[in-house]
Amino acid sequence: MNEQVEYRYCYCLNNPLKFTDPNGEKLKLWQLGLLDILTGGVVSLTATSLITTEVPTWTANAAGLTFINSFSGQDRVDNTWDIWNGLFKTNPKLSQEDRVLQWISRLTLQAPQTQAGYTASQGRNLFGGVDNVEFFDGATLVNRNNPNVSGGGMTLSPFILGTNLEASVTDLTFMHEYGHTLQSARWGPYYLPIPALLSGADMIFGGQKYWSWDPGYFRHDIRWYERQANKYASGYFENNYGIEWYEEENPIHIPLKYEHRERPSTLTINKY
């Protein structure tokens, strides 16, 4: 018997830094079970249906792509299965219960963007647009290196389709995109038609123009959905890595006045 569970004054199994939920936002397994009972089994039936249909489909898809990509070299074959693995990668910093819920959410509430992200990633790899695949705290970076353009990305559930990004706490743009994975989890089925669609459309229709009153930021940088992703990322990296968020690069608030500051070559990490 685990005495730490029985002793009511021993909070969080003596690990208060790991087992935290300050805003009461994490859905627990018992709550999911209660919701399933109240809905007559809709939750479990939906999850079972998606898992039993989508996972075999994705696996068969990866197997077929392996054959096609084998004619283009081992790297593309390896990327194919790394992308497939990204469907199942969860955040090791979470408790086992929360990791299970993260995966269930990915295949249910976030199913539209998960499917879109997986399809886009495999399609990109099929046509030679992937140089490396990296995993970071439940996210999968599908990256292309291009010295002729600056870094950027598009996030669909756990998949970050990046250009010149590194899955690291020293890559400011990657950290912003990781914030979109957190945004996807919170918005669930509404992420794709609202934040993701608005963000993508903005990049196409004028988002890369500077504000006339503030030459320090692109219009896209301070849209509400981008600042919200920065807010989520800021909290995550501060709590888990002790990193002070660099708001001049990834603003959380609309800047009242632009003041030029040198972008740091590296970020200061206070703790791990």
What strands lie across the sheet with 132-136, from one edge to the other? 132-136, 139-144, 159-163, 152-156
User: How do residues 168-226 score in pLDDT, each as one tens digit?
Assistant: 999 999 999 999 999 999 999 899 999 999 998 888 876 555 554 455 566 778 889 99
Closest to 246 measured CA to CA, from 171, 181, 161, 195 = 171
- Are the beta carbons of 220 and 204 closer than 8 angstroms? no
**Where does the chain have alpha helices with state H?**
3-6, 29-38, 42-69, 74-85, 96-107, 111-126, 172-187, 197-204, 224-241
Does residue 134 carry a pLDDT above 80? Answer: yes
Tokens representing residue 62 in the block: 């990866």
What is the chain's Cα-based Rg?
A: 20
User: Which pLDDT belongs to residue 162?
Assistant: 96
| Inter-CA distances, 38 with 109, 189, 229, Å | 18, 21, 33
Indicate the SS3 state at residue 242: coil
Confidence of residue 37 (pLDDT cuts 50, 70, 90): low
Per-state percent for the chain, helix, strand, coil, to nearest 5: 55, 10, 35
CA separation for the pair 45, 133 (Å, rounded): 33
Q: What is the mean pLDDT of the chain?
A: 79
Which of 92, 59, 65, 60 lies closest to 78, judged by CA? 65
Average pLDDT over residues 115-138: 95
Report which DSSP code applies to 146: -
pLDDT at residue number 191: 95
pLDDT of residue 84: 93
What is the rounded average pLDDT of the residues 122-137? 95
- For residues 272 and 241, the answer to whether their CB atoms sit within 8 Å is yes
Looking at residue 58, its amino acid is: W
Banded model confidence at residue 123, pLDDT cuts 50, 70, 90: very high
Residues β-bridged to residue 5: none
pLDDT value at residue 9: 44
Q: Residue 135 belongs to what H/E stretch? A: strand 132-136
> What is the per-residue pLDDT for 49?
64
C-alpha to C-alpha distances, 84 to 33, 57, 97, 118, nearest whole angstrom: 28, 11, 22, 8
Q: Is the dihedral of CA 182, 185, 190, 193 positive or negative?
A: positive
Point out which residues pair with 132 in neighbouring strands. Answer: 143
The tokens describing 165, both together, are: 């990004």
